[in-house]
């Protein structure tokens, strides 16, 4: 994810309004070395975390375009955190491929079942019945480092 992504999103939002551009969603993939073939250091140290965008865009509803994040998301708690930070949706690629390859008959079904249970647990802890109800609940996230606090625009940390 490049540093000019906020300007690009705002530009597309303006085009949508002014030119009646039929854009419904934008996917933001901020994870470096996204093919999975890059060295671990490159994958973990060069990309900007996708959800960092929500520090700059507090209310995604104002832009009129759904923001879908991807890159490095591989479990239900990752999905929950992204939605709590403001994502409208999440895209997962590599984790599904690994699940399919590991267990060809039930891998994807088992993976989806695990994600569903994790999301249900997060919603239960937050006393919410639907996943959409956790959108924007950034105040319920706790940064475990000063870096995470700054990157994701969280108020609390250790």
Helix axes 107-125, 94-102, angle to 10 degrees: 130
| The predicted structure's pLDDT at residue 158 | 58
pLDDT band at 142 (very low <50, low <70, confident <90, very high): confident
So where are the chain's domains? 5-152
Q: What is the mean pLDDT of the chain?
A: 82
Fold designation for 5-152:
TIM Barrel (3.20.20)
Residue with tokens 């590991």: 102
Total-model pTM: 0.79
Which helix (H) or strand (E) is 30 found in, with range?
Answer: none
Sheet arrangement for strand 66-70: 25-29, 66-70, 89-91
Q: What is the mean pLDDT of residues 126-130?
A: 95
E strand or H helix at 24 = none
Residues 6+ apart with CB under 8 A from 36: 43, 94
3-state secondary structure at position 103: coil
Report residue 141 CA to chain centroid gap: 14
Summarised one tens digit per residue, pLDDT across range 88-127 is 999 988 888 899 998 888 999 999 999 999 999 999 999 9
């Amino acid at each position: 994810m490049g540093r000019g992504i906020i300007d690009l999103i705002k530009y597309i939002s303006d085009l949508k309004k002014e030119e009646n551009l039929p854009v419904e969603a934008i996917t933001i993939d901020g994870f470096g070395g996204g093919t999975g073939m890059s060295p671990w250091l490159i994958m973990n140290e060069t990309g900007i975390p996708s959800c960092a965008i929500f520090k700059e865009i507090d209310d995604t509803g104002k832009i009129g375009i759904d923001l879908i994040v991807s890159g490095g998301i591989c479990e239900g708690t990752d999905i929950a955190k992204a939605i709590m930070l403001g994502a409208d949706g999440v895209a997962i690629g590599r984790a599904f491929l690994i699940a399919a390859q590991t267990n060809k008959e039930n891998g994807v079904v088992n993976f989806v079942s695990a994600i569903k249970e994790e999301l249900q647990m997060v919603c239960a802890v937050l006393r919410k019945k639907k996943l959409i109800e956790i959108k924007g609940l950034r105040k319920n996230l706790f940064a475990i480092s000063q870096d995470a606090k700054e990157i994701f625009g969280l108020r609390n940390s250790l």
